[in-house]
Structure 1
C-alpha cells in the first residue's frame, strides 16, 4: 500500500541521514515538501543536512540516534510522533562497513557491524510498523545492497548483515500479510556500488586503502527510487548500472560468478598501504559530510576502473591456464 497522504502531507523518518543515500533522500523529499525526521549519530552532520533541507522549505526534526540501541530508536519514533502527529514512512538506511578476513576480524567489530546493520533495522521496523498502522498505512523502506544477493571476499561481516536484512524484510512482509496488515508495505532497495563516504569511513583491517567496486552510481539514483517506492511500492527493487546484471549472473552461473567476483575482490578492491582503522564503526567520523564520496572523480581510484580491473582478472585467469 502506498502512502495514504501526499508526500507534502507525509512525515518520513530517515536513519543514516547525514550522508550518502540518507542525505540524498532527505534533500529529495525536502524538495517535495515532506515533513522530515532525520536520524544519525553525528549531531553536527545532522545539523548540516537539516539546514539544507530547511532551505528547501521542509519542516525538519533532527534526532541524534545510534540505531543499534533499541531505546534510542524508540525515542526517535516517539519524537517523530510528538512533533508531527503521525509517521507515514520509515527508511531504514543507517549502516557501517567492515573490511577484513572473516577468520581474523576482531569479534567486537563483527558484533558491532551486526548490531548496526541488522539489529538497527529490526529496531527500526519494530518502532515503525505500529506507527505506520496508526497513521492508516504507510511504507517501510529497507535499504539493502546487491550484496544482499551476491558476495565479495574481505567484506564478509557486511555481507552477512545485508543477507540477514533481506531475509528480515521478506519474513516481515509475509508475517504482515498473514496477519491481514495490508496497509503497510515493506520494500527492499538493492543498490549496486555507490559513490558515498561509506568506503572512506569503513572499518578496515586489510592494511590497504579500500577502493569501491566499479562501476559507481550516484546516491541520487537510490534516493529517486526510494521516493518512487513511497508512491508505488514494490517488494524489491534493484538500483544501479551493475546491480541487476551481477545478480542475474550470480543466479544463472553461480560458480563462475563467485570465482570472478572473488578475483575482482582480490585484485581491484584495495589500493595503497594504509594502517588498520576502526573507521566509523564505534564513533561517527567527524569529517565533512555530503551526499557523495568523491570516488568517481579521484585519480587515486583509477586502478579500480572496470577496464583495469577486468584486465587484471583476465591476466590472472590466463596465467592460471598457462601454469
Structure 2
C-alpha cells in the first residue's frame, strides 16, 4: 500500500457539502479559521450568501455553490466552481444529510427514496467527482460523514440508519478501489454520535411528539475537529464522540440486549414533548428551511471528546487496531453470551 501524503490545512482548498447548517457549518468555519480555502455547498442559497458575506468579510477565502447533492449534474458544477475560484480542491467532504422520524410503515415510500437520494446517492455523486478530480492532482482526501447508526440501527430512524449502513459500504468499496490503483487518495469515514445540530427540527416527523437526539450530545465542533484532522492526516475511520463509540461497541457485543433496550426506551429517548424547536426549521426533506449551527431545543452538549483526541493521537495502524480490537472483543463476547 502506497503512503498517502496530504497537504497541511492552510495549503488546502476544501469542498464541504451541507455547509450552511450543523456539522457542515462548523466544518466551514473551523477550516477558514485554520487558513484553508473553502467551497461551501448547500441547497439554501440565501444562507450561502450570508455565510460568504460573513466569512469573506473577515478575510476568509470562500466560494459558494448552491446545489442539491442528489443531482449529479449539480455536483459536477461544484468541481467547476472550485476550479474557477481556486484552481481545484484538495479535500472533498460529503456531509449533506436529511432524515425522517417514524416507523418504516409511517414513512411514505417517496420519503424513503428521498433520504437515499441525498444521504447515499449524494455521497456517491460527490465521491466519484472528487476521485476523478483528485486523480489529476496526484491525490488528496475524501471524507464521508456517516454515523454510528451505520453500525447499529435505531427505532424511528429506519431510512436514515439504512443510508448510513450504505455509506459505510460505499466508503469501504471506494477506499479499496482507490488503493488498488495507487491513486494517492485518502478515504475516511467519520462516525458521529448524537450531535447538537438542527437535525431533529429539520427532519420530517411522523411521531406524536417532537423529535430529539438521545444523549449524550456533542457540539458540531467535535465533528469539525474530526473531519479537518482527516483532511490532513490519512485515517480509515474516526468516531466523533465517545458516547457513540461505546453505544456502537455495545450493539456489537450484545445485539439482542440492544434490541430490547431500543424497543423499550428508544422511542421515548428520541422525543422532546413540549419542545419542538424553531418552527421555521421544521421539515427540510424536499426544500431548505432555516439553517443554524446548533439546535434550538433545550439540551446539554459536550464541547470535546476524549475518545476523538485519543484516536487522533494514535498512529493510523494503532487506531485501526483499537477500533478493530474493540469490534473483535465485542464479537467474542457476543459468542460467549449466546
The TM-score by the shorter chain falls in which range?
0.7 to 0.9
Aligned partners of 2:5 and 2:176: how far apart in 1? 20
Q: 1:68 aligns with which of 61, 65, 70?
A: 70
Q: 1:279 aligns with which of 273, 279, 283?
A: 283
| Shift in CA distance, 228/7, structure 1 to aligned 2, threshold 3 Å | same
| Shift in CA distance, 147/14, structure 1 to aligned 2, threshold 3 Å | same
TM-score normalised by L of structure 2: 0.83
- 1:167 and 2:169 aligned: yes
Task: Identify the residue that residue 225 of structure 2 maps to in structure 1.
Answer: 224
Instruction: Classify the secondary structure of the residue corresponding to 1:242.
Output: helix
Task: Identify the residue that residue 198 of structure 1 maps to in structure 2.
Answer: 199
Q: Deviations over 1:260-304 (max 9, x none)?
A: 1332312221233889x981000001x2x3211133548xxxxxx
Q: Assess if the C-alpha contact under 8 Å between 1:215 and 1:241 holds in 2.
A: no
Instruction: Classify the secondary structure of the residue corresponding to 2:154.
Output: coil
Instruction: Classify the secondary structure of the residue corresponding to 1:14.
Output: strand
Task: Identify the residue that residue 180 of structure 1 maps to in structure 2.
Answer: 182
Aligned partners of 2:63 and 2:100: how far apart in 1? 30
Task: Identify the residue that residue 57 of structure 1 maps to in structure 2.
Answer: 59
Q: Assess if the C-alpha contact under 8 Å between 1:2 and 1:185 holds in 2.
A: yes
For residues 119-134 of structure 1, the aligned pairs below 5 Å read 119-134=121-136
**Structure 2 alignment gaps of length 5 or more:** 301-338
Instruction: Classify the secondary structure of the residue corresponding to 2:195.
Output: coil
Task: Identify the residue that residue 115 of structure 2 maps to in structure 1.
Answer: 113
Instruction: Classify the secondary structure of the residue corresponding to 2:170.
Output: helix
Q: Assess if the C-alpha contact under 8 Å between 1:151 and 1:258 holds in 2.
A: no
Aligned partners of 2:52 and 2:264: how far apart in 1? 41
Aligned partners of 2:212 and 2:258: how far apart in 1? 20
Aligned partners of 1:132 and 1:157: how far apart in 2? 31
Q: Assess if the C-alpha contact under 8 Å between 1:145 and 1:191 holds in 2.
A: yes
Q: Assess if the C-alpha contact under 8 Å between 1:63 and 1:76 holds in 2.
A: yes
Q: 1:158 aligns with which of 132, 157, 160?
A: 160
Aligned partners of 2:226 and 2:267: how far apart in 1? 31
Q: Assess if the C-alpha contact under 8 Å between 1:216 and 1:296 holds in 2.
A: no
For residues 1-323 of structure 1, the aligned pairs below 5 Å read 4-181=6-183, 183-272=184-273, 279-285=283-289, 287=290, 289-297=291-299
Deviates more, 1:184-193 or 1:73-82: 73-82
**Structure 1 alignment gaps of length 5 or more:** 299-323
Instruction: Classify the secondary structure of the residue corresponding to 1:180.
Output: coil
Q: Assess if the C-alpha contact under 8 Å between 1:16 and 1:39 holds in 2.
A: yes
Task: Identify the residue that residue 312 of structure 1 maps to in structure 2.
Answer: none
Instruction: Classify the secondary structure of the residue corresponding to 2:215.
Output: coil
Instruction: Classify the secondary structure of the residue corresponding to 1:18.
Output: coil
Cα RMSD (Å) of the superposition? 1.9
Instruction: Classify the secondary structure of the residue corresponding to 2:267.
Output: helix
Aligned partners of 1:231 and 1:124: how far apart in 2? 19
Q: Assess if the C-alpha contact under 8 Å between 1:204 and 1:279 holds in 2.
A: yes
Instruction: Classify the secondary structure of the residue corresponding to 1:209.
Output: coil
Aligned partners of 2:37 and 2:26: how far apart in 1? 15
Cα distance, 1:241 vs structure 2? 3.1
Aligned partners of 1:105 and 1:71: how far apart in 2? 28
Instruction: Classify the secondary structure of the residue corresponding to 2:15.
Output: strand
